[in-house]
Amino acid sequence: MSLIIAKDICHVYDSGERAYEALKKVNMSISEGEFVALVGPSGSGKSTLLSILGVLTKASSGIVQIDGIDVTNLGEEERARFRREYVGFVFQQFHLMPYLTALENVMLPLVMTSISKKEQKEKARLALAKVGLEEKGHRLPAQLSGGEQERVAIARAIVNEPPLLLADEPTGALDVANGNRVMALLTDLNKQGHTIVMVTHNPAYEPLAHRVIRLQDGAIVEGSGSLTRPGEV
Ligand code: ADP
Ligand code: ADP
């Protein structure tokens, strides 16, 4: 079953003086359980597309459907609620709160929920264990290596068990050894059921994905996936 369907996605950045068409009629589908690498030259639209798939950015036009829900016309509040439930984000910059411990950072997405503090802690511990950091929950980000900080960020992204995990250059700030470790972790999380879309500049990681979607000048030139049965969307 398709977890993500994107139809005729166009995106224009309009700075007033001139408009830039970052995505031009992008069509794609991603199945539940897939691990997709989103690649292409700098400026080809990868981050924009990822942000649209993650319901952070509203496309200028086109339709996005995730897990059977048409998110195209949701209001800001509904989009935020949708993101909390469905999407985990990992970025190149770890975006950890420097004055919170690793465990507290992982708990952040749960703080707004009705889950009890005790259960929040348990879930956060479990997520830290999944990334191999159960012993380091009490540390501040500055007391962790870069590789460990990225793994904390991944634990935070999955603590809610979102069906969709989006990663924008998750290994971009890491050395080879830590990059490989993060990739092994993502592969493992995918096997545990998270659908993953990952932007990467590293061709060595492309074979780890089930599929490579390649963008060029705002259009998909490879790997869009089979689009839908008649009548869908
Ligand atoms: P990639 O992730 O492949 O490097 P992006 O999606 O970041 O590409 O950007 C696609 C194009 O849109 C680029 O030419 C970029 O300069 C432009 N762009 C991205 N963000 C903005 C913005 N906020 N305002 C104007 N142009 C932007
Ligand atoms: P990595 O192999 O992940 O790059 P490092 O060689 O940077 O790890 O660090 C080795 C160990 O030292 C890690 O377990 C990490 O937790 C710890 N460590 C790294 N930086 C700091 C720091 N600034 N303060 C305390 N412990 C640290």
- Ligand 1 pocket test, pick from 13, 47, 58, 213 with the greatest ligand atom count within 8 Å of Cβ, gives 13
Question: Which ligand is closest to the CA of 92, given by its number?
Answer: 1
Residue closest by Cα to atom 12 of ligand 1 = 22
Per cent of the chain over pLDDT 70 is 97
pLDDT at res. 144: 96
**Average pLDDT of the residues in 177-206:** 94
Domains, the chain: 2-222 (3.40.50.300)
Band of pLDDT at residue 227, cut at 50, 70 and 90: low
Helix axes 102-111, 146-158, angle to 10 degrees: 20
Residue 199 has pLDDT above 80, yes or no: yes
- Cα–Cα distance, 75 to 96 (Å, whole number): 28
Q: Give pTM, 2 decimals.
A: 0.87
Band of pLDDT at residue 92, cut at 50, 70 and 90: confident
Residue 231 has pLDDT above 70, yes or no: no
Per cent of the chain over pLDDT 90 is 87
Written as six digits, the tokens of 126 are 């479990």
